[in-house]
Amino acid sequence: MNGKIEVEHLSKTFKKGDVRAVKDVSFQVEEGEFFAFLGPNGAGKSTTVQILTTLINATGGKALVAGHDVIKEPEEVRRYIGVALQETGVDPDLTGRELLELQASIFGFDKSGAKERAEQLLGIVQLTKDGNRRVGNYSGGMRRRLDLALTLVNEPKILFLDEPTTGLDPSNRMAIWKELRRLNEENGTTIFLTTQYLEEADSLAHRISIINAGEIVATGTPKELKAQIGNDLITMTFKSNEDLTRAEHKLVEKMGENEVIQQNGRLTVYVEDGAKQLLEVVRVLDEENIQVESVNLTSPTLDDIFLKITSEQKEEE
């Protein structure tokens, strides 16, 4: 048993509609690492989590979680992992405390051990005073926190979290982030997190894989990923749509198709040396007599990387 996740050539094709949700995905997560799977809706994040947590079988490839094969030894895998799925798994008719005690008993705690563990976890997710209320009366944020507590009952070596903060208000989101950081730093728990939020991956994860349309399109530390697309970004807005179109056309001609992206009326150019190339860009626009409204020179955020990679993919298709 170890705290690693090792995935080789993992694929999943759903029979219904012949959908290839995950295509030949390989990656490795080290013990104690905080790893994020970043991608839009339908990218294959949840399917990957379901395979790695033994809920569904892969149609190809191999995955070891905590040193055990998810297909051949699912019982072993379940002992060492904690899983919070996108939809919380709580029974509204029980109280938070009862649910935690039941979960602990299923994991083999005796009666007093289960009581103790439940009390402890209620404290950790700050639900001690709501522990005896039925879950049906909890708010969305409280349910999420209880769901997280349920995943921690067996002191998992590896924690899987499928979009744990989607739909949460900022204060609940912060509470969950804080707890995840603590688990990773203090207990050395390996964390596999999926998210659509770039800032979430950026602020929490040591390493990120960007997944789109069932494939991993980039992997690295947040810093590496940012460097991968160039050092600087030039972002512009224009007086009219006509100017925008003409500018895009000209700049693509000059800088190459992959370096220019248009989104929501803004044009972004990815460049190596911003200070030098800014002048060049302005000169091109000036020659064409294009009316610029604003120009900004910035360092890339994960949002920019994400946008660039997914738009490159669209062009290939």
Partner 1 sequence: MGNGVWKDTWLITGRNIKTTLRNPFSVIPNLIISAFFLLVYEAGLSGIADLPTFNGANYLAFILPVSIVSAAIGGAGGAGQGIVKDIENGFFSRLLLTPASRLAIVLGPIIAGMLQLLVQTILIICVGFLLGLKVETGFLGILFVLLIAIGWGLAFAGYSAGVALRTKNAQASQSGTLIFFPLIFLSTTFVPYELLDAQWLKIAATINPTTYIFESMRSVLIDGWVFWEMMQGVIAIVVVCTITITFAAVSAKKAVSRG
User: What residue ranges bind partner 1 (CB under 8 A)?
Assistant: 53-57, 74-75, 78-79, 81, 83, 85, 87-94, 98, 102-103, 105-108, 134, 150, 154
Rounded distance between C-alpha atoms, residue 99 and residue 89, angstroms: 10
* Residue 87 beta carbon to partner 1: minimum distance, rounded to whole angstroms: 4
* Residue 83 beta carbon to partner 1: minimum distance, rounded to whole angstroms: 5
* Residue 181 beta carbon to partner 1: minimum distance, rounded to whole angstroms: 23
> Cβ closer to partner 1: 67 or 89?
89
Beta strands in the chain (DSSP E): 5-14, 19-29, 34-38, 60-65, 68-69, 81-84, 158-162, 190-195, 207-212, 215-220, 232-238, 260-263, 266-271, 292-298
* Residue 92 beta carbon to partner 1: minimum distance, rounded to whole angstroms: 6
Please list, in sequence order, all residues whose beta carbon lies within 8 angstroms of the beta carbon of residue 300, skipping any fewer than 6 positions away.
226, 229, 230, 231, 232, 233, 270
Q: Which amino acid is at 254?
A: K
Residue 257 CB-half CA count within 13 A: 6
Q: Which amino acid is at 98?
A: E
> Cβ closer to partner 1: 154 or 195?
154
* Residue 35 beta carbon to partner 1: minimum distance, rounded to whole angstroms: 19
Residue 206 phi, psi (nearest 5)? -75, -35
> Cβ closer to partner 1: 67 or 74?
74
Rounded distance between C-alpha atoms, residue 52 and residue 160, angstroms: 9
> Cβ closer to partner 1: 163 or 202?
163
> Cβ closer to partner 1: 162 or 304?
162
> Cβ closer to partner 1: 68 or 226?
68
Burial class (CB in 10 A: 0-12, 13-18, 19+), 262: middle
Positive or negative CA dihedral for 303, 169, 214, 263?
negative
R_g of the chain computed on alpha carbons: 23
* Residue 55 beta carbon to partner 1: minimum distance, rounded to whole angstroms: 6
* Residue 148 beta carbon to partner 1: minimum distance, rounded to whole angstroms: 12
* Residue 57 beta carbon to partner 1: minimum distance, rounded to whole angstroms: 4
Q: Long-range CB contacts (< 8 A, 24+ apart) of 22-27?
A: 22/47, 22/48, 22/51, 22/58, 22/214, 23/213, 23/214, 23/215, 24/60, 24/61, 24/215, 25/61, 25/211, 25/214, 25/215, 25/216, 26/61, 26/216, 27/209, 27/216, 27/219
> Cβ closer to partner 1: 74 or 141?
74
> Cβ closer to partner 1: 82 or 300?
82
For residue 147 the two structure tokens come to 């769901």
* Residue 68 beta carbon to partner 1: minimum distance, rounded to whole angstroms: 12
> Cβ closer to partner 1: 49 or 198?
49
